[in-house]
Every structure is written in C-alpha cells, then in structure tokens.
Amino acid sequence: GAEVRLVRRPVGTPVADDFEVGSVRIAEPREGEVVVRNEYLSVDPYMRGRMIDAKSYIEPFALGEVMSGGAVGTVVRSEAPELPVGETVLHDHGWREYAVAPAADFTRVDTTVAPASAYLGILGMPGQTAYFGLFDVAGMRPGDTVFISGAAGAVGSLAGQFARLRGARRVIGSAGSPEKVAYLRDELGFDAAFDYHDGPVREQLRAAAPGGIDVYFDNVGGDHLRAAIGAIRPFGRITLCGAISGYNDTRPPPGPDNLILAVGKRLTLRGFVVYDFADRTTEFEAQVGRWLLDGHVRLRETVVSGVHNATTAFLGLFDGANTGKMLVRV
Ligand code: NDP
C-alpha cells in the first residue's frame, strides 16, 4: 500500500520534497489487530504546526514516519472479534492506503447518518471546532452579529451555518475568491460576504457590518484579526481558532497593533483547542446530527484523488484550493 512520509521539516511554505511517497507490504494483523483499507484521508492546517520541532499542545511529527492524521476506511481483515470485517471506522493513522493497528485505535462510525467522509468534516473534528468555537468559546447568542474569516473552508462554512441556525442577527464571511463569496451568499445563507483580496479587510468589514459585530470567529489572523478588533462592539467576543495567514511565515507575524482597543471595549479574546471539548461529543452529535438530518446544513467537499497526492491536497489549503472540507480519496 502507498504511504506518504514527512522527510524534512519545511521552512516557509512546504514543498513536495519535504515529503516522500513510498509503498509497503501490508503487515499481517496480530491478535487484537485489524487491517483497515482507507477511503478518505484528511489534510488539515494544524498539520503545518506539527511539521516543525517546537513545543506545542501536540507532538511534532517524526521525520521518516507516515504523516498521521484523520482518516476513514473499512475493516478488511480482523483479528479482533469486537471489530469485524466490513465496519466503517475513523482513526488517526494518516496518509496511507492501509492501516494495521490494534482495534482500540479505531472508532466505528454510522454511515446511515452520513457518508464516511462526513466524519472528517461536519461530524468530526472540523464540525466540533465550529460548534464549540462558536457557542462555547465565543458564547454566541441569538441576535449577535457574527463575522467569520476563512468562511468557505471546512470550519468556517460550518460556523457560519451554525450561527444562522442559532439565530444570529447577521452573519458575515470573508474568503479568497469571487466564487467563494457567491457560495457564501447564495448557497450558505450568509447575509454578507467579501473577498479579502478586493481591498483592506477593515474597509470591507465596515461596509458589510456598518453597526459593528458582536462575535468574530478567527481562522486567519493578521489583518483579519486587526479589522475585527476595530469593528467589534463593546463586550464583543473573539474566538481565536487559527491564524492560517501566518502558518508559513519564517518569523513571527506582527500582532494586531490596535489591541489596546480591547481594554476600552472590554473584549474577550479566547483561544481553544477542539480536544478541550472531547467530553461533549454526545451533545455535539445530537445537535449537529439533527441539523444534518433535517437538511439545514449544506456541505461541500473538495476531493483530490490518490494517497500520493496527499501533499498536493495539503499544500492546496494554503492556496485556497478548497471549498468546504479538503479530502483525499484513496
Ligand atoms: P480550511 O478548510 O478553512 O482551509 C484553509 C483555508 O484557509 C483555505 O481554503 C484558504 O481559503 C484559507 N487561507 C489560506 N491562506 C490564507 C491567507 N493567507 N489568508 C486568508 N485565508 C487563507 O481549513 P480548516 O477549516 O480545517 O481550518 C480553518 C482554521 O481553523 C485554521 O486556521 C485551522 O488551523 C483552525 N483550526 C483550529 C482548531 C482548533 O482546535 N483550534 C481545529 C481545527 C482547525 P481562502 O480561499 O478563503 O483564502
């Protein structure tokens, strides 16, 4: 089976040579182990942070090892009675065609609720990030005006729709192309959207939200964060979810130079990691599963084919190649 390994720690924007595609014989499962044939692999922005050797909330990737990360697949051989052949499972064994590991590494998913790939998106880590980031971290309430950056991506497109479903007064999104802006407005029900390439974020945000915003869900950082601090009303709340605009910078990007406004406006800026909410999966699945089954959420995936193209898919995240969740179909 094919697999992709990290062989060099990227400096700046990662390049193809930082990775290596290999092929290995599928190991015989030992007692208690299963063999899973992957259907979809996830590529995610957080992986960029794990490529460097720095202290973080998560261990760096080891050089020469297969890139770990979310994947879904089917059990094709089993030496574990509790996980029989034919089950669809979610796991973290990453960028490979086949995963051979103890049954305990795999979580069964219910493909009658949604297709397997949804467990890498709305019903998985990105969905939880949007849900808890919006409702718990930012404490979004009905009537709030909400601004979301990276709004056409996996997390952002869900955060925007969840905000609308919970009664936001107005939902505003920014994204990187005219097609994405149209998608936000016409398909996802955002009240306003703009392309951040079209002019300063500060000005475009002011035009989209003349009365200001109450909540900012930050996926991007940089100018977006600065503009949101400027536009937010007193007692506004900012979820620091990610700052992808700086992930490939070789030196720390400058902080927002208007942070002093947070004092007078009594702002809350709060970071979080989705795993903080691991004990609330049941609540999450009940609510988001309901929205999904009732047809209240629209989903889009951008799918790249072939494990050997996982690197291309990953790099595409930094070029805005995806609308909705970026996936690799094995
Ligand atoms: P996305 O699906 O949103 O993909 C990344 C998107 O970022 C691209 O599609 C691109 O869209 C946008 N982007 C890339 N470079 C820039 C830039 N320089 N300026 C503005 N936008 C840019 O990824 P996810 O939904 O998986 O992740 C979104 C954010 O959430 C990331 O910051 C990620 O790190 C964070 N995150 C945080 C978690 C947590 O626990 N705190 C968990 C999961 C994700 P465009 O065309 O619009 O530029």
Q: What is the pLDDT of residues 76-115, one digit of tens each?
A: 999 999 999 999 999 999 999 999 999 999 999 999 989 9
Distance 46 CA to ligand 1 centre (A): 9
Distance CA 242, CA 132 (A): 14
Average pLDDT over residues 263-287: 97
Amino acid at 213: I
CA distance 132 to 289: 15
pLDDT, mean over the chain: 97
The C-alpha atoms of residue 11 and residue 67 are separated, in whole angstroms, by 17
Judged against a pLDDT cut of 90, whether residue 55 lies above it is answered with: no
Determine the Cα–Cα distance for residues 232 and 215; give it in Å rounded to an integer.
7
Kindly calculate the radius of gyration of the chain based on its CA atoms and give it in whole angstroms: 20
> Which tens digits make up the pLDDT trace of 113-127?
899 999 999 999 999
Report the C-alpha gap between 45 and 320 in whole angstroms.
Answer: 11
Cα–Cα distance measured from residue 148 to residue 208, given in angstroms and rounded to the nearest whole number? 12
Confidence of residue 300 (pLDDT cuts 50, 70, 90): very high
- pLDDT over threshold 90, residue 197: yes
**Ligand 1 centroid – CA 219 distance (Å):** 5
Distance 29 CA to ligand 1 centre (A): 37
Give the pLDDT score at 284.
98
Residue nearest to atom 29 of ligand 1 (CA): 219
Cross-strand bridge partners of residue 5:
20, 66
Find out whether 179 and 305 touch, Cβ atoms under 8 Å.
no
132 close to 280: Cβ distance less than 8 angstroms = yes
**Residue ranges per domain, the chain?**
2-121+300-329, 125-275
Atom number in ligand 1 closest to CA 46 = 34
Q: What is the pLDDT of residue 57?
A: 84
Cβ–ligand 1 distance for 44 under 6 Å, the answer yes
136 in contact with ligand 1, CB cutoff 6 A: no
Question: Are 77 and 32 in contact, with CB atoms under 8 Å apart?
Answer: no
3-state secondary structure of 187: helix
Confidence band for 35, pLDDT divided at 50, 70 and 90: very high
Average pLDDT over residues 164-184: 98
Ligand 1 pocket check for 69: Cβ under 6 Å: no
| Structure tokens that stand for 9 in this block | 């720690």
Sorted by sequence, the CB contacts under 8 Å of residue 254 that are 6+ apart come out as none
Q: Hey, what's the torsion of the CAs at 86, 325, 232, 226, to 10 degrees?
A: 130
Mean pLDDT, rounded, for 183-211: 98
User: Which of 201, 219, 248 to probe ligand 1 with, by most ligand atoms within 8 A of CB?
Assistant: 219
Atom of ligand 1 nearest to the CA of 155: 25
Helices (H) and strands (E) in the chain, counts: 9, 15
Token output for 75: 């059990």
Domain 125-275 matching CATH 3.40.50.720: the answer reads yes
Q: What is the whole-number distance in angstroms between the Cα of residue 197 and the centre of ligand 1? A: 16
Using the atom order of ligand 1, give the atom closest to the CA of residue 321.
9
Q: Report phi then psi at 251, rounded to 5.
A: -135, 160
The answer to whether 175 and 148 are in contact (CB under 8 A) is no
Cα dihedral sign for 69, 70, 76, 77?
positive
Please tell me the predicted confidence (pLDDT) of residue 310.
97
- For this complex, say whether ipTM is above 0.90: yes
29 lines ligand 1 (CB under 6 A): no
Task: Record the pTM.
Answer: 0.98
Instruction: Let me know: does 67 contact 47? Beta carbons within 8 Å.
Output: yes
Question: Residue 252 pLDDT more than 90?
Answer: no
**Rounded-to-integer distance, Cα 263 and Cα 65, Å:** 46
Instruction: Give the percent of the chain with pLDDT over 90.
Output: 96
H or E, element range at 170: strand 170-175
Fill in the DSSP letter of residue 93. B
CA of 181 from ligand 1 middle (Å) equals: 15
What pLDDT, on the 0 to 100 scale, is given for residue 113? 87
Q: Which atom of ligand 1 sits closest to the CA of residue 326?
A: 2
The CATH number of 2-121+300-329 is which of 1.10.3210.10, 3.90.180.10, 3.40.50.620, 1.10.760.10?
3.90.180.10
Nearest CA to ligand 1 atom 8: 320
Q: For residue 272, which atom of ligand 1 is closest to its CA?
A: 41
Determine the atom of ligand 1 nearest the C-alpha atom of 323: 9
